[in-house]
Chain A
Amino acid sequence: MSEKDMTSKITELLRSFQSSTPGVLGAGVISTDGFAIASELPQSVEERRVAAMAAAMLALGEQTTSEFEHGRLERVFVEGTDGYTVIMSAGAEAVLSVVARKDAKMGLVFLQMERTADALRKVMA
């Protein structure tokens, strides 16, 4: 698959995830180095910084999980008074980051994120 095809497939997966998951405000795929690969994030968000943040949070989550011998990291979940940020691994090279409203059904968000992460792994394999 060409680089262009891969990027458009990733963008398609993000759009599909967003449209099928109520309460999701945006999503992004980031390299483990912290560089944005594709994103469907609100315009107010500065992509470069958010990408770096998401990759760092996932890596910190993995470090913490390992330090406390809690097995494999499932996800990093950040809860604010007005919304959520969820970050999970999408293979060796990528991180999936999602921003959701406070009224989002988080069980559904997690499930759809896992499906999207699986699809991303296949696209990027």
Chain B
Amino acid sequence: MSTPRKPQLVRCPEPLEPLFVAAEDAMAQFFGDLRRRPEKGEITISDVRYLLVRAASMSIQFRNELSSIYGLRTANQIIYNFGRACGVQDAKMFHKRLGLTDPATKLAAGPVHFAHVGWACVDIFPESAPSPDENYFLIYDHPFSFEANSYTEAEIKSDAPVCFMNAGNSAGWCEVSFGVELVAKEITCRAQGDDQCIFIMAPPKKMLGYTRQYLAKYGKA
């Protein structure tokens, strides 16, 4: 008997592995067709137009610029909502294009897409319990988050988490996948000297309770 394949881009609880292997196959095909046409000022992947943006510009500089006008809290909110908008629209497009209908399969495509577009990898922790209702809960790490990496590479230490675009994008994708309103919050962040960028995701009205619980668990309360 052959050993089942393991996902290469995502770490997740074992029962979810076949979903991610299938998602990796589908996404590899999509992202295999990358074309750069500088004479037309265009980059396409399987005929879908993409943009290349320098990671540090989209994290450090963008955040600093917004922050200088709107303040840090509002800047973080804007960045979160920008990420969420991308997550919602990308999820809708890929679910349709790949013909995905089941919530768990729809979710599985998200972290794989995330890895291919260079935002981060995703490790889903075993205590996660994604379900299409108010009990939805996800806890995960974003290794190589482009936001945290930009800060560490520039040797800027933040006094708070910085991966708001990552948080918003994952919440948007999962919200579309499961059809329930979801929000995500980063609990620990490499940009502030932590080992991992750990996020929790839940319906908004449950987030305060989870935030307190997991900040305490990770020594951030």
Q: Mark A38-68, 1 if CB is under 8 A from B, else 0.
A: 1000000000100110011001101100000
Pick from A28-36, A77-85, A100-108, A111-119 the stretch touching chain B. A28-36
Q: Say yes or no: A3 contacts B70, CB within 8 Å.
A: no
Q: Size class of A's contact patch?
A: 20 to 34
B204 and A48 contact, CB distance less than 8 A? yes
| Per-residue interface assignment for chain B, residues 95 to 110, with 1 indicating a CB less than 8 Å from any chain A CB and 0 otherwise | 0000000000000000
**Chain B at the A interface: SS class:** helix
Inter-chain residue pair count (beta carbon < 8 A): 58
Assembled-state Cα–Cα distance A48/B207 (Å): 13
The yes or no answer to B81 lying at the interface (CB within 8 A) is yes
Asked if A7 is at the interface of the complex by the 8 Å CB criterion, the answer is yes
A40–B73 CA distance with the chains assembled, in angstroms: 25
Contact between chains at A56 and B207 (CB < 8 Å): no
Decide if the interface of chain A is mainly helix, strand, loop or mixed: helix
A55 touches B205 (CB 8 A): no
- Given the interface pairs A59-B70, A60-B71, A63-B70, the reply to whether A37 lies near B208 with Cβ below 8 Å is yes
Bound form: Cα–Cα A124–B73 in Å: 20
Name the one of A37, A38, A48, A93 contacting B181, with C-beta atoms under 8 angstroms.
A48
The smallest C-beta distance from A33 to any residue of chain B, in angstroms, reads: 7
Interface assignment of B209: CB less than 8 Å from any CB of chain A = yes
Residues of B within 8 A of A (CB): 70-71, 73-74, 76-78, 80-81, 181, 183, 185, 204-210
List 28 A-B residue pairs with CB atoms under 8 Å apart, sorted by A's residue number.
A3-B206, A3-B208, A3-B209, A3-B210, A6-B208, A6-B209, A31-B207, A31-B208, A32-B73, A33-B80, A33-B185, A34-B77, A35-B208, A36-B204, A36-B205, A37-B205, A38-B205, A48-B204, A52-B77, A52-B81, A55-B73, A56-B73, A56-B74, A56-B77, A59-B70, A59-B73, A59-B77, A60-B71
